[in-house]
Structure 1
């Protein structure tokens, strides 16, 4: 997390039983509140098995009160990422006097079920086979970031990617096999790209964007379907397309983006955020 350490007051914790490390809480401090680290998409409390969650939370509460921290805001993992231990934590959070103050919609394909890609998308996918698209796994992010992603986000949403080009390049150098960049070309011209984070049994499309020419050619849709088939063949459990939450919409999420992801075969999963008053 140190690539964006200047943006947060880190207060990550390690929990020990004697000399044994039994828990981790990536976290940052803001005012009088400790947050599940706001620089991470997911996070929460990670524990070894066979330890009392109640005892750990009591110890955690006592420790935070020493620093005059009044609130703990902690998130659960979406179901697609949960292990038996993280489910124990989620169940505990639901059972104590916590407040559920926010929920994210996370969209993902469950490969244990038949693929459910919309028939219109499959029709265009089959037609586009003859166009001569070329898909490349790239070692550099520069073309996608500078020629597709940054201009697209700027023109459509007046925003920038969460990761700068330097940051994603640094992350790639540290996680060579876990971060992949796939670009799609037509006659040598880049049309779209998808940045994949490989999390073991889950792969996540961290970024997906197209330029105007690619949009006209339905290139991003074609690339998504190719990658959906690829990771199914490789035996992954889920293909996550991330969240669709957006406060700019009355519904609290991007309706059009959610529809697009559902038409690519995604189901909706929930990630809950809990607030615990410590004092």
Structure 2
């Protein structure tokens, strides 16, 4: 099967998004309405692979000198392939994308693999081909996820603390970013000395473009949000992109109630998984953070990064 490749341009946004919608790794992160909110921070060298003039695969990528990452601004990367492509075709399409990257001056590539729960169909052929091409495992992070269809019971402490928060008057509500982001910024600055990765304006812009994908749930107490989460809704996976609790929220165990409520909502909406993200400090496991997640019944999946010369 003959493929051709061209470098992505803004004129390709509609066909790129249509491909994402037809792919088995079609996370909304790859939608150009999401990717392009921070386009000023990255030099885009994404490859669009075509057959008979029709896009069938794409490789999101950003360049940093003669090295590229798929993609520097995204949690995951790798090849976006139309669901009807068979394994040999996916391999050939990926090789064609790499050929394009080489022509555009890229000499080394890092791929952030998509864990299986986040895909709509099996898609292990890319990791296989990366290994076959001599790519090496450059990093492996521990992430935590709850199987909502057959969950482990939360710990007795989490069940108790969630009930306590409700008895103290905490109420979990759908909340605006205008109410949640100041809470998040306050907590991150006080506890970690940093700002959120996303500004409030950026998140508002993203939620306006993708309203069914970004959800905010907060526990309110005495008329104020005291704990909350920004959820990314990836089809079968609901992911806690941000979690925050101020001093009043911590005293009331409000975040435990927020998480328990969000997990119940995700299950009721037909989600299969509830994701908490990684528990790493550099290459070291953050066991305290991991304990919090596993207390809700989460267990480990891996976020892998592959790197290789082109």
2:304 to 269, 272, 279: 272
Q: Which moved more, 1:208-217 or 1:9-18?
A: 9-18
Please list every run of 5 or more consecutive structure 1 residues that lacks an aligned counterpart in the other structure.
none
Match of 1:143 among 179, 188, 191: 179
Aligned 8 A contact 2:47 2:101 in 1: no
Question: What TM-score results when the alignment is normalised by the length of structure 1?
Answer: 0.92
| Partners of 2:59 and 2:99 in 1: CA distance | 15
Question: Which residue of 1 is the match for residue 221 of structure 2?
Answer: 186
SS at match of 1:52: helix
| Secondary structure of residue in 1 paired with 2:149 | coil
Residue correspondence of structure 1 range 51-130 to structure 2 within 5 A: 51-84=88-121, 86-130=123-167
Q: Could you give the per-residue CA deviations for residues 105-135 of structure 1, whole angstroms, max 9, x where no partner exists?
A: 2211111223331111112223333222122
RMSD of equivalent CA atoms:
1.6
> In the TM superposition, what whole-angstrom CA distance separates every residue of 1:23-70 from its partner, at most 9, and x where no partner exists?
111110011112101101112111122252332233233322222321
Alpha-carbon distance in structure 1 between the residues aligned to 2:277 and 2:306: 20
Match in the other structure for 1:134: 171
Give the 3 Å change call, closer, same or farther, for CA 96–222 of structure 1 in structure 2: same
Question: Which residue matches 1:257?
Answer: 289
Instruction: Report the Cα offset of residue 17 of structure 1.
Output: 1.5
- Partner Cα distance (1:85, 1:120) in 2: 37
**Alignment size in residue pairs:** 273
Query: Shift in Å at residue 80 of structure 1?
Result: 1.2
The match for 1:243 is 278
2:134 alignment partner, SS class: coil
Structure with the larger RCO, 1 or 2 (CA within 8 Å, 6+ apart): 1
Q: Give the SS at the match of 2:95.
A: helix
Q: What's the offset of the Cα at 1:4?
A: 0.9
Q: CA deviation at 1:91?
A: 2.5
Q: How does 1:13-24 map to 2 (within 5 A)?
A: 13-24=47-58
Q: TM-score, normalised by structure 2?
A: 0.83
Distance 2:112 2:50 in 1: 21
Equivalent pair of 1:47/1:86 in contact (CA under 8 Å):
no
Which ranges of structure 2 fall in alignment gaps of 5 or more residues? 1-34
Question: Aligned pair 1:2/2:30, yes or no?
Answer: no
| CA–CA separation in structure 2 for the residues paired with 1:123 and 1:85 | 38
Cα deviation, residue 263, structure 1: 0.8
2:90 equivalent to 1:27: no
In structure 2, C-alpha distance between the alignment counterparts of 1:129 and 1:65, rounded to whole Å: 57
Q: Secondary structure at the match of 1:86?
A: coil
| CA apart distance, 1:85 | 5.2
- Distance (whole Å) between structure 1 residues aligned to residue 153 and residue 63 of structure 2: 42
